[in-house]
Amino acid sequence: MLNVVAIDHIVLRTEKRAQMIAFYTQVLNCLIERETSPELGLTQLRAGSALIDIVDVDSTLGKLGGKAPANTGNNLDHFCLQIEPICEEKLVEHLKKWHVDASEFEQRYGAQGFGRSIYIQDPDGNTIELKCSIK
């Protein structure tokens, strides 16, 4: 029987490769784990136990996905990153430091049950839910 235990990776196609990598490494503290050749166009970022793959839409790999993401017709509603417990005010301060707008904290349901979370957006307009781990 198949049992999903976690998100392994997500792939985000972009025309803003440098901005996306800066956002995920500087704002969300993900580490660059692996980069392929510029022609292939893949950068893999470590996000806890998962990976976030950033793919340049003009690369060999990126062209396989069709047109670039746009303000309408995005193929991703949002994804949720489970984060370690943090003071809500400190998280908001951190995001403001990086000029990242955030929604209000709300109680939401996810893979670990109910918990407080907020929504932010990356430079390509992908919505990310940040949800504290339940300890």
Using one digit for the tens of pLDDT, what is the confidence trace for 9-44?
898 989 899 999 999 999 999 999 999 988 989 999
Whether residue 4 lies inside any domain: the answer is no
Q: What is the pLDDT of residue 2?
A: 46
Q: Average pLDDT, stretch 70-83? A: 76
Measured at the alpha carbon of residue 97, what is the angle toward residues 24 and 104, in degrees to the nearest 5? 85
The radius of gyration of the chain from alpha carbons, rounded to an integer in Å, stands at 15
pLDDT at 132 over 60: yes
Tell me which residue range forms the domain holding 124. 9-67+76-132
Q: Which residue has the tokens 């908001």?
A: 92
Whether residue 3 lies inside any domain: the answer is no
Whether residue 27 lies inside any domain: the answer is yes
CATH number of the domain encompassing residue 58: 3.10.180.10
Q: Is 105 left (phi over 0), alpha (psi -120 to 50) or beta?
A: beta
Q: How confident is the model at residue 101 (pLDDT cuts 50, 70, 90)?
A: very high
Whether residue 2 lies inside any domain: the answer is no
pLDDT at 51 over 50: yes
Q: How confident is the model at residue 135 (pLDDT cuts 50, 70, 90)?
A: low
Looking at the chain, the whole-number percentage of residues with pLDDT higher than 70 is 90
Q: What is the pLDDT of residue 1?
A: 47
Taking alpha carbons only, the member of 97, 92, 93 closest to residue 119 is: 92
Q: What is the pLDDT of residue 42?
A: 92
What's the chain's average pLDDT?
87
Q: Which residue has the tokens 């022609």?
A: 39
Whether residue 120 lies inside any domain: the answer is yes
> Who's near 126: CB < 8 A, 6+ residues apart?
12, 69, 74, 76, 78, 79
55, 62 contact by CB (below 8 A): yes
User: What total number of domains does the chain contain?
Assistant: 1
Q: Which residues pair with 118 in a beta bridge?
A: 130
